[in-house]
Structure 1
């Protein structure tokens, strides 16, 4: 499920950045970057500098991403949570800006606003697990859709509103919309099973007990000067233990924006909920 979420995320990312999707199969994605993304992701500034000096058009790189373990041995980049390339793509989105405004390319006259937030939830304990949520909130009636970007990935969007179309003003304010999304995320986290947190906390207590026993024996046999140094060392090791093992959940907004959809698309998106 996590690997499928990564695949969907990459498709959405490159589509919204107007890159050419050359191949989109199960667990495999081949894409030709545009110049902006090539500059951000490929780390070859001298190439583009040279191309500009001689007045030529550069050739952006073509990348193949493998997200299915079954295809891991094929030619391409194996991508997963924690891989440097995925982290680099996350960072490039931060550099480009967290918020976008997109209009569905359609000949329908009215376009309805959706507030979209792509969220990364990190569960940190003895091990780390990341999860991506894409949530869309209809700002007219408050309908909330899970996996929003996956549901609209086959649609065409632009930062310019189509001719003869107009937007409907939102009834729900954006700040209120974000609050609803935050509440939903909290409910989602609360509904998950958290045995991993109990396991991490229990393991932390066992490690702390060993640490306490080790330092207590030394402190009992030390003079005042040594006790001060040992106490400092103990506190440093305890802090390190807490950072390594204490369960923690972090929620981060990767990006988001306003997406304006036609009535027909809205109905299809809502139908995808059932």
Structure 2
């Protein structure tokens, strides 16, 4: 599921930026970048500066992104939570595209209502003895409060546009934005609380063991003020390193106006 979600996230990112998907099969995504995304991700400022000065059309990069662990030794970038390429993509989203408003394209000639959804993509970071990141995509219906956890998966095959179609009209939200975010936070809290916390228990046990070793080392040494300061500093460092924490960070999001049966 994690592989599928990560692959879907990458697919959605590149298609939303009008990059050409050349291949997407079994956790291997091959994509031809646009000039805009090439400049954002490939770190080739001198190339683009030269091309523009020459008045020529530049050749953009074709990326191969691998999310299937069985194919990680293949030719391409091995993408996982924490990989440099994924972090680069997430940073670009955070820096430039944190919020959007999109409308579902509907080719009908009948009057069609579009309902507001608050869609938020969030990175959950688990910090302790071992660190792990997870991306979740939540969608909240701002009329009736319905919520989906894998919202980007549901939106994958829907055409979204920055401008509303002629025969469509929007329904005003009933749930306020601030209230919507609080609901999403509550769902995230429940999601975390219902997971196994063995990783946190292991972190606390390691913290206890390491703290004991530090105290044993320093108590067997000369007892002076400088020694105690060093001991406390090392204990504080261990607490910072091993105390289990879970943090949320919004990658991006927005209001999506969708038809009543968009996911059917």
Q: Shorter-chain-normalised TM-score: which range?
A: over 0.9
Q: Which residue of structure 1 aligns with residue 225 of structure 2?
A: 228
Structure 2 residue 135 is matched with structure 1 residue 135? no
The alignment of Structure 1 onto Structure 2 pairs a total of residues equal to 261
Could you give the per-residue CA deviations for residues 154-198 of structure 1, whole angstroms, max 9, x where no partner exists?
A: 111121222222211111111111111011101111111101111
Q: TM-score, normalised by structure 2?
A: 0.94
Bigger fraction of residues in helix: 1
Contact persistence 1:107–1:165 (CA under 8 A)? no
Distance in 2 (CA, whole Å) between partners of 1:232 and 1:239 is 10
Residue-by-residue CA offset, 1:101-150 (whole Å, 9 max, x unaligned): 11112124221111001111111121112111100001111100010001
Cα separation, 1, equivalents of 2:96 and 2:216: 51
Query: What stretches of structure 2 of length at least 5 have no aligned partner?
Result: none
Q: How does 1:45-64 map to 2 (within 5 A)?
A: 45-64=45-64
In 2, Cα distance between equivalents of 1:149 and 1:61 = 26
1:42 aligns with 2:42: yes
Give the structure-1-normalised TM-score.
0.91
Deviation track 1:16-49 (CA, whole Å, cap 9, x = no partner) reads 2221111111211111111221111000011111
Q: What is the alpha-carbon distance in structure 1 between the residues aligned to residue 222 and residue 32 of structure 2?
A: 63
**Native 8 Å contact 1:123 1:247 kept in 2:** yes
The secondary structure found in structure 1 opposite 2:156 is coil
- Runs (4+) of structure 1 exceeding 6 A deviation are none
Unaligned runs of 5+ in 1: 221-226, 269-274
1:19 pairs with 2:19: yes
**Residue aligning to 1:184:** 187
Give 3-state SS (helix, strand or coil) of 2:261's partner. helix
Deviation at 1:3?
Answer: 2.4
Of stretches 234-243 and 133-142 in structure 1, the one that deviates more from structure 2 is: 234-243
Is the aligned partner of 1:160 residue 2:163? yes
Aligned-partner SS, 2:220:
helix
- Alignment of 1:145 with 2:142, yes or no, is no
Q: Which residue of 1 aligns with 2:103?
A: 103
Matched position secondary structure for 2:174: coil
